[in-house]
Chain A
Amino acid sequence: MARSKEPIWWSMFSAGGVIAAFLIPATLLITGFAPLAGYITAEQLHDLIDRSWLVKIYLFILIALPLFHWAHRFRFTVADLGLRGGAALQAILFYGAAIVGTICAAVILIRA
């Protein structure tokens, strides 16, 4: 039996899961609640993006990997719900959406 190529997707799925669990709540706190509470202003948050590429790279990872986490999980959720037909098409659709989202994130962050 041939060893599967699934690790390509699974590794992004699991990395995306870790990021979704640990970094997204922290990011929500900083970008969502901190401005409301008056700890930081929206303008200051924007300045952060201009100031360092590291912030852009952080945001890129924050957006891209959870997209692949979603694509992989959603593929299996759909299968577990009983929609087994067209597995290849489903994979292209879901991973494709994650790839498009990743490219969009990259373009927006580079232009920002």
Chain B
Amino acid sequence: MAASNTTTSNAVVTMDVFRYEPDASELPRMQRYTVPFREDWVVLDALNHIKDEIDGTLSFRWSCRMGVCGSCGMMVNGEPRLTCNSFLRDYYPNPIRVEPLSYFPVIRDLIINLDHFLDKLEEVKAWLIPAEDRELSEGEYRQSPAQLAQYKQFSMCINCMLCYAACPAYGHHSEFIGPAALALAQRYNMDSRDGASDERADVIFSEEGIWDCTFVGECARVCPKNVDPASAIQQAKVEATKDFFKSVLVPWGKRQQPAESR
């Protein structure tokens, strides 16, 4: 074990944690815990310490502890963060306030209901729909490095929903498809193997699609994987505008396939 792990100091961190136990009370409350301060502990370690050593009733989601699974997203001092990625030392000696992700319904304590987000992923068909069906014997769908570069950035999304908790447009209107689902839709629209951008267009080009976005840009700032959902939405706005003017100028023509890079 690293020396820093066997800290001899008695330094502690104060954690103010959002509690909501619908079986006990209809009202949420904040509960204060005092946990040991360790140089190499992240907020998630502190929460696990509370659960293991202080209060077993505290509920929260987590899995990988290394910024890959996207399940430990919470508000840390009002900022959407992966708690496995937020070191105590960056807040110490100030108290740390931990709350569930903003704008989502809370099931219990720090656990949010993400059904709505999953519905949106389904609405925009955030998966690969091949342009042409191929037999296994015909081999793989080949793609050049340039074609890969078209969408690679957006494919880094881990569905942690921090961008939703940061988005004022989503906070105002929860029907808004939102940053991550739109970035993932754009990821498949830009994929040279995909042929379903027209199927996605009705949802993406609607009011609740890209047009609820006011380009605040917070989604890109809080993303732990450096995805830029704001730019995905801007790209889609350009495609939607081309599609609109094409439908006005050439009303008899077939509606455009949004991703012209294919």
In the docked arrangement, what's the CA distance between A3 and B201, Å? Answer: 8
In the docked arrangement, what's the CA distance between A11 and B172, Å? Answer: 24
B238 to chain A, nearest CB (A): 8
Tally the A-B contacts, defined by beta carbons under 8 Å: 49
Q: A84 — which chain B residues lie within 8 A by C-beta?
A: 172
- Asked if A3 contacts B205 (CB within 8 A), the reply is yes
Interface size (B, Cβ < 8 Å)? Answer: 21
Chain B residue, CB-CB nearest to A76: B214
- Whether A3 contacts B172 in the complex (CB less than 8 A), given A76-B214, A80-B214, comes out as no
A112 at the interface (CB under 8 A from B): no
A68 to chain B, nearest CB (A): 14
- Asked if A3 contacts B214 (CB within 8 A), the reply is no
The answer, among B172, B202, B207, B215, for a CB contact under 8 Å with A6, is B207
Q: B211 — which chain A residues lie within 8 A by C-beta?
A: 4, 6, 10
A86 at the interface (CB under 8 A from B): no
Q: Give chain A interface residues in 1-50, CB to chain B under 8 Å.
A: 1-8, 10-11, 14
In the docked arrangement, what's the CA distance between A30 and B245, Å? Answer: 35
Q: B79 — which chain A residues lie within 8 A by C-beta?
A: none
B18 at the interface (CB under 8 A from A): no
The answer, among B207, B214, B215, for a CB contact under 8 Å with A4, is B207
- Asked if B245 contacts A7 (CB within 8 A), the reply is yes
A79 at the interface (CB under 8 A from B): yes
- Whether A1 contacts B244 in the complex (CB less than 8 A), given A10-B237, A79-B214, A80-B214, comes out as no
Residues of A within 8 A of B (CB): 1-8, 10-11, 14, 76, 79-80, 84
Residues of B within 8 A of A (CB): 168, 172, 201-203, 205-209, 211, 214-216, 237, 240-241, 243-245, 247
Give the 3 A-B CB pairs with smallest separation, nearest first. A7-B244, A1-B206, A76-B214
| 6 pairs, A vs B, C-beta closer than 8 Å | A1-B207, A2-B202, A4-B211, A6-B211, A6-B240, A80-B168
